[in-house]
A and B are shown apart, each in its own frame.
Chain A
Amino acid sequence: NAGVMQNPRHLVRRRGQEARLRCSPMKGHSHVYWYRQLPEEGLKFMVYLQKENIIDESGMPKERFSAEFPKEGPSILRIQQVVRGDSAAYFCASSPPVVDTQYFGPGTRLTVL
Protein backbone atom coordinates (compact mmCIF):
# COMPACT_ATOMS: atom_id res chain seq x y z
CA ASN A 1 0.00 0.00 0.00
CA ALA A 2 1.80 3.09 -1.22
CA GLY A 3 1.74 6.12 1.04
CA VAL A 4 0.29 9.50 0.23
CA MET A 5 1.81 10.76 -3.01
CA GLN A 6 2.32 14.38 -3.90
CA ASN A 7 3.64 15.81 -7.12
CA PRO A 8 5.55 17.65 -8.11
CA ARG A 9 7.92 17.64 -5.14
CA HIS A 10 9.37 20.97 -6.21
CA LEU A 11 7.63 23.58 -8.33
CA VAL A 12 9.02 26.89 -9.53
CA ARG A 13 6.70 29.52 -10.91
CA ARG A 14 7.04 33.14 -11.92
CA ARG A 15 4.72 35.75 -10.47
CA GLY A 16 1.36 35.68 -12.22
CA GLN A 17 1.55 32.05 -13.33
CA GLU A 18 -0.68 29.24 -12.10
CA ALA A 19 0.45 26.46 -9.78
CA ARG A 20 -1.24 23.04 -9.65
CA LEU A 21 -0.35 20.71 -6.81
CA ARG A 22 -1.53 17.11 -6.85
CA CYS A 23 -2.22 14.72 -4.01
CA SER A 24 -3.04 11.04 -4.35
CA PRO A 25 -4.33 9.68 -1.03
CA MET A 26 -3.57 6.26 0.31
CA LYS A 27 -5.70 3.44 -1.05
CA GLY A 28 -9.05 3.33 0.72
CA HIS A 29 -8.74 6.89 2.05
CA SER A 30 -11.59 9.17 1.04
CA HIS A 31 -10.64 12.20 3.15
CA VAL A 32 -7.96 14.66 2.06
CA TYR A 33 -6.53 17.65 3.92
CA TRP A 34 -4.25 20.38 2.60
CA TYR A 35 -1.85 22.30 4.85
CA ARG A 36 0.61 25.09 4.16
CA GLN A 37 3.92 25.73 5.90
CA LEU A 38 5.32 29.18 5.21
CA PRO A 39 9.10 29.64 5.66
CA GLU A 40 10.05 29.65 9.34
CA GLU A 41 6.40 29.18 10.37
CA GLY A 42 4.23 26.33 11.59
CA LEU A 43 1.75 24.29 9.63
CA LYS A 44 -1.64 25.87 8.91
CA PHE A 45 -4.83 24.13 7.84
CA MET A 46 -6.17 25.13 4.44
CA VAL A 47 -8.98 22.82 3.33
CA TYR A 48 -10.63 19.47 4.06
CA LEU A 49 -12.25 17.52 1.24
CA GLN A 50 -14.06 14.28 0.76
CA LYS A 51 -14.71 12.78 -2.66
CA GLU A 52 -16.47 15.46 -4.76
CA ASN A 53 -17.18 17.63 -1.69
CA ILE A 54 -15.44 20.46 0.11
CA ILE A 55 -16.17 19.93 3.80
CA ASP A 56 -14.21 22.79 5.39
CA GLU A 57 -12.37 25.50 3.47
CA SER A 58 -12.08 27.97 6.33
CA GLY A 59 -8.28 28.07 6.03
CA MET A 60 -8.17 28.89 2.34
CA PRO A 61 -7.29 32.42 1.23
CA LYS A 62 -10.38 34.07 -0.20
CA GLU A 63 -8.91 34.71 -3.62
CA ARG A 64 -6.74 32.79 -6.11
CA PHE A 65 -6.83 29.48 -4.20
CA SER A 66 -9.13 26.56 -4.98
CA ALA A 67 -9.18 22.85 -4.25
CA GLU A 68 -11.00 19.84 -5.59
CA PHE A 69 -11.13 16.09 -5.00
CA PRO A 70 -12.91 14.51 -7.95
CA LYS A 71 -14.54 11.11 -8.02
CA GLU A 72 -11.61 9.80 -10.04
CA GLY A 73 -8.04 11.00 -9.81
CA PRO A 74 -6.00 12.99 -7.33
CA SER A 75 -6.94 15.99 -5.26
CA ILE A 76 -5.75 19.25 -6.80
CA LEU A 77 -4.79 22.46 -5.03
CA ARG A 78 -4.77 25.26 -7.56
CA ILE A 79 -3.19 28.67 -7.03
CA GLN A 80 -3.87 31.26 -9.70
CA GLN A 81 -1.69 34.31 -10.36
CA VAL A 82 0.92 33.28 -7.83
CA VAL A 83 2.76 35.90 -5.77
CA ARG A 84 6.05 35.64 -3.86
CA GLY A 85 4.14 35.23 -0.60
CA ASP A 86 2.72 31.92 -1.88
CA SER A 87 6.22 30.37 -1.65
CA ALA A 88 5.83 27.63 0.91
CA ALA A 89 5.69 23.89 1.47
CA TYR A 90 2.23 22.48 0.79
CA PHE A 91 1.40 19.21 2.51
CA CYS A 92 -1.46 16.89 1.81
CA ALA A 93 -2.72 14.31 4.30
CA SER A 94 -5.30 11.60 3.93
CA SER A 95 -7.38 9.48 6.27
CA PRO A 96 -9.93 6.71 5.92
CA PRO A 97 -13.54 7.38 6.94
CA VAL A 98 -14.22 7.47 10.69
CA VAL A 99 -10.54 7.23 11.68
CA ASP A 100 -8.70 10.30 13.04
CA THR A 101 -5.13 9.45 12.10
CA GLN A 102 -3.89 11.43 9.12
CA TYR A 103 -1.07 10.22 6.90
CA PHE A 104 1.06 12.95 5.40
CA GLY A 105 2.54 13.18 1.95
CA PRO A 106 6.12 14.37 1.35
CA GLY A 107 4.98 17.87 0.43
CA THR A 108 5.37 20.14 -2.59
CA ARG A 109 7.80 23.00 -2.22
CA LEU A 110 6.57 25.94 -4.26
CA THR A 111 8.97 28.74 -5.10
CA VAL A 112 7.65 31.86 -6.75
CA LEU A 113 10.28 33.95 -8.48
Chain B
Amino acid sequence: KNEVEQSPQNLTAQEGEFITINCSYSVGISALHWLQQHPGGGIVSLFMLSSGKKKHGRLIATINIQEKHSSLHITASHPRDSAVYICAVRSRSGSRLTFGEGTQLTVNP
Protein backbone atom coordinates (compact mmCIF):
# COMPACT_ATOMS: atom_id res chain seq x y z
CA LYS B 1 0.00 0.00 0.00
CA ASN B 2 1.35 3.45 -0.94
CA GLU B 3 1.99 5.91 1.85
CA VAL B 4 -0.10 8.47 -0.05
CA GLU B 5 -3.30 7.48 -1.82
CA GLN B 6 -5.36 9.76 -4.03
CA SER B 7 -8.87 9.38 -5.37
CA PRO B 8 -10.20 9.42 -7.93
CA GLN B 9 -7.40 8.61 -10.39
CA ASN B 10 -9.33 10.24 -13.21
CA LEU B 11 -12.10 12.81 -13.04
CA THR B 12 -14.12 14.37 -15.85
CA ALA B 13 -16.39 17.31 -15.11
CA GLN B 14 -18.47 19.86 -16.95
CA GLU B 15 -17.53 23.50 -16.74
CA GLY B 16 -18.97 25.10 -13.63
CA GLU B 17 -19.10 21.93 -11.54
CA PHE B 18 -17.73 21.71 -7.99
CA ILE B 19 -14.81 19.30 -7.84
CA THR B 20 -13.29 17.38 -4.95
CA ILE B 21 -10.05 15.40 -4.99
CA ASN B 22 -9.14 13.33 -1.95
CA CYS B 23 -5.82 12.36 -0.41
CA SER B 24 -5.20 9.88 2.40
CA TYR B 25 -1.83 9.17 3.98
CA SER B 26 -0.55 6.63 6.44
CA VAL B 27 2.46 8.30 8.10
CA GLY B 28 2.90 11.12 10.56
CA ILE B 29 3.51 14.32 8.65
CA SER B 30 4.75 17.83 9.24
CA ALA B 31 3.05 19.25 6.15
CA LEU B 32 0.93 18.29 3.15
CA HIS B 33 1.27 19.86 -0.27
CA TRP B 34 -1.09 20.09 -3.21
CA LEU B 35 0.61 20.48 -6.58
CA GLN B 36 -0.70 21.04 -10.08
CA GLN B 37 1.05 19.56 -13.11
CA HIS B 38 0.10 21.14 -16.41
CA PRO B 39 -0.28 19.19 -19.65
CA GLY B 40 3.14 20.56 -20.69
CA GLY B 41 4.66 18.96 -17.59
CA GLY B 42 5.42 22.00 -15.41
CA ILE B 43 4.62 21.74 -11.69
CA VAL B 44 3.11 24.51 -9.59
CA SER B 45 2.76 24.39 -5.82
CA LEU B 46 -0.85 25.26 -4.92
CA PHE B 47 -0.99 24.85 -1.14
CA MET B 48 1.04 23.77 1.83
CA LEU B 49 -1.04 22.74 4.85
CA SER B 50 -0.30 21.55 8.34
CA SER B 51 -3.78 22.10 9.77
CA GLY B 52 -7.21 23.50 8.97
CA LYS B 53 -8.10 25.07 5.67
CA LYS B 54 -6.62 27.38 3.05
CA LYS B 55 -8.28 29.22 0.17
CA HIS B 56 -6.83 30.79 -2.93
CA GLY B 57 -9.25 32.05 -5.52
CA ARG B 58 -11.49 29.16 -6.56
CA LEU B 59 -9.29 26.59 -4.84
CA ILE B 60 -9.82 25.37 -1.29
CA ALA B 61 -7.66 22.83 0.55
CA THR B 62 -8.54 21.20 3.86
CA ILE B 63 -6.72 18.77 6.09
CA ASN B 64 -7.83 16.57 8.99
CA ILE B 65 -4.72 15.50 10.87
CA GLN B 66 -6.52 12.99 13.10
CA GLU B 67 -8.05 11.20 10.12
CA LYS B 68 -4.90 11.59 7.96
CA HIS B 69 -6.97 13.00 5.12
CA SER B 70 -6.93 16.07 2.91
CA SER B 71 -9.22 17.35 0.20
CA LEU B 72 -8.71 19.79 -2.65
CA HIS B 73 -11.86 21.53 -3.88
CA ILE B 74 -12.30 23.56 -7.04
CA THR B 75 -15.38 25.76 -7.25
CA ALA B 76 -16.88 26.85 -10.60
CA SER B 77 -14.49 24.64 -12.53
CA HIS B 78 -13.15 25.81 -15.88
CA PRO B 79 -11.44 23.99 -18.77
CA ARG B 80 -8.17 25.71 -17.86
CA ASP B 81 -8.27 23.78 -14.56
CA SER B 82 -7.61 20.60 -16.57
CA ALA B 83 -4.36 19.19 -15.19
CA VAL B 84 -2.96 16.50 -12.92
CA TYR B 85 -3.36 17.32 -9.23
CA ILE B 86 -0.82 15.75 -6.92
CA CYS B 87 -0.87 15.35 -3.17
CA ALA B 88 2.50 15.12 -1.40
CA VAL B 89 3.39 14.74 2.27
CA ARG B 90 6.48 15.70 4.20
CA SER B 91 7.18 13.30 7.04
CA ARG B 92 8.00 14.51 10.54
CA SER B 93 11.42 12.89 10.36
CA GLY B 94 12.81 14.51 7.23
CA SER B 95 12.51 16.93 4.36
CA ARG B 96 11.67 14.56 1.52
CA LEU B 97 8.24 14.65 -0.10
CA THR B 98 6.30 11.46 -0.77
CA PHE B 99 3.83 11.82 -3.62
CA GLY B 100 0.48 10.36 -4.52
CA GLU B 101 -0.03 9.03 -8.02
CA GLY B 102 -2.00 12.10 -9.05
CA THR B 103 -5.55 12.77 -10.20
CA GLN B 104 -6.06 13.58 -13.87
CA LEU B 105 -8.80 16.23 -14.07
CA THR B 106 -10.50 17.08 -17.34
CA VAL B 107 -13.04 19.90 -17.39
CA ASN B 108 -15.14 20.03 -20.53
CA PRO B 109 -16.70 23.26 -21.81
Spell out A's residues near B (CB within 8 Å): 31, 33, 35, 41-45, 48, 55-56, 58-59, 89, 91, 100-104, 106-107, 109
Contacts and interface: CB of A to CB of B under 8 A. Distances in A.
Contacts of B102: 42
Q: Secondary structure at chain B's binding surface: helix, strand, loop or mixed? A: strand
Interface of A, helix, strand, loop or mixed by DSSP = strand
Nearest to B43: A104
Interface string B84-102: 0010101000111111111
A10 to B, nearest CB: 11
Contacts of A59: 96
B45 interface: yes
Contact of A106 (B41, B86, B98, B101): B41
Interface string B42-81: 1111001000000000000000000000000000000000
B13 interface: no
Q: Which 6 A-B pairs have the closest CB atoms?
A: A104-B43, A43-B99, A45-B96, A42-B101, A100-B31, A42-B99
B41 A89 contact: yes
A42 B48 contact: no
A49 to B, nearest CB: 10
